[in-house]
């Protein structure tokens, strides 16, 4: 999966939930995830997973993109499933898998339908310390910077006729790869320093700012109402108010 930050934000801008207030989306997702974490009933967990899938589908974000990002979390889901299967049985294993999957999809719904700076602005509104928001910001940017430098170095190697060895134990290949890794970090650090200096020259103070002000409208209230209603229903099923079985 090769993405730059502009491409990631483009998915958000094409989403049907793009213009929704990021604070409402974030709070709704956190409420939903918190409720899912308390669920043990398989019916409630199944409905939570179906709801998360439906919301992701309604967002308009390409399912291929969602699937690619979800695959990053899948090894952890699989590990948790196997661990629970061996220690607590199939029902607890299924419950764990659905719980984690529903939570991941709810989080992806927010991330994939909200520009990165919008998410940071929402975090600041919820009083998340600026140092944490800035750490997330620079980590996010630095990941793309590293991948860009690695791509440049790979292209430079190929243009000079480099061919990889049969394994990492090959002396020539090992030397070249080691050199590449070192140069990637050196050049990335240099670019990161220039980027930070450019931010300072443009008045960067560490506070997250966006062009548009955050405003809660009728559609935001409707979205929050949907999440609250689903959360109440799931908790009611968990407490036995509804006797549904799979």
- Which tens digit of pLDDT belongs to each residue from 18-70? 889 999 999 999 999 999 999 999 999 999 999 999 999 999 888 888 888 88
pTM: 0.76
CB-based contact 56:66 (threshold 8 Å): yes
Using pLDDT thresholds of 50, 70 and 90, give the confidence band for residue 1: very low
Range 84-100 average pLDDT: 90
> What distance in Å separates the CA atoms of residue 52 and residue 1, rounded to the nearest whole number?
23
> What distance in Å separates the CA atoms of residue 185 and residue 150, rounded to the nearest whole number?
9
> What distance in Å separates the CA atoms of residue 185 and residue 206, rounded to the nearest whole number?
24
Average pLDDT of the chain, as a whole number: 83
Q: How many CA atoms lie within 13 Å of 207's alpha carbon, on the beta-carbon side?
A: 5
Start-to-end CA span in the chain (Å): 36
> What distance in Å separates the CA atoms of residue 130 and residue 177, rounded to the nearest whole number?
37
> What distance in Å separates the CA atoms of residue 148 and residue 2, rounded to the nearest whole number?
10
At 171 the pLDDT is 64
CB-based contact 135:54 (threshold 8 Å): no
Instruction: Please tell me which of 69-78, 155-164, 203-212 the model is most confident about, judged by mean pLDDT.
Output: 69-78
Of 206 and 34, more confident = 34
Q: Burial level of 225, CB count in 10 A (0-12/13-18/19+)?
A: exposed
pLDDT tens-place string over residues 132-143: 888 888 788 777
CB-based contact 16:58 (threshold 8 Å): yes
> Is pLDDT at 222 greater than 90 in this prediction?
yes
Domain ranges of the chain: 11-123+217-239, 129-202
């Amino acid at each position: 999966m090769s993405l730059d930050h502009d491409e990631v934000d483009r998915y958000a801008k094409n989403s049907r939930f793009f213009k929704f207030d990021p604070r409402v989306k974030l709070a709704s997702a956190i409420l939903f995830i918190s409720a899912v974490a308390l669920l043990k009933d398989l019916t409630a967990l199944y409905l939570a997973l179906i709801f998360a899938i439906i919301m992701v589908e309604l967002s308009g974000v390409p399912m291929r993109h969602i699937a690619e990002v979800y695959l990053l979390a899948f090894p952890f889901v699989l590990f948790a499933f196997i661990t629970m299967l061996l220690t607590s049985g199939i029902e607890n294993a299924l419950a764990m898998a659905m719980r984690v999957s529903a939570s991941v999809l709810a989080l992806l719904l927010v991330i994939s339908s909200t520009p990165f700076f919008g998410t940071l602005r929402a975090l600041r509104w919820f009083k998340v310390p600026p140092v944490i928001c800035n750490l997330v910001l620079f980590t996010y940017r630095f990941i793309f910077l590293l991948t860009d430098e690695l791509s440049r170095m790979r292209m430079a190697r190929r243009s000079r006729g480099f061919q990889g060895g049969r394994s990492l134990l090959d002396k020539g290949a090992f030397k070249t790869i080691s050199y590449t890794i070192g140069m990637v970090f050196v050049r990335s650090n240099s670019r990161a320093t220039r980027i930070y200096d450019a931010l300072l020259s443009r008045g960067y103070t560490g506070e997250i700012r966006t062009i548009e002000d955050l405003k809660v409208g009728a559609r935001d209230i409707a979205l929050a109402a949907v999440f609250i209603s689903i959360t109440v229903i799931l908790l009611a099923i968990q407490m036995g108010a509804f006797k549904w079985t799979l």
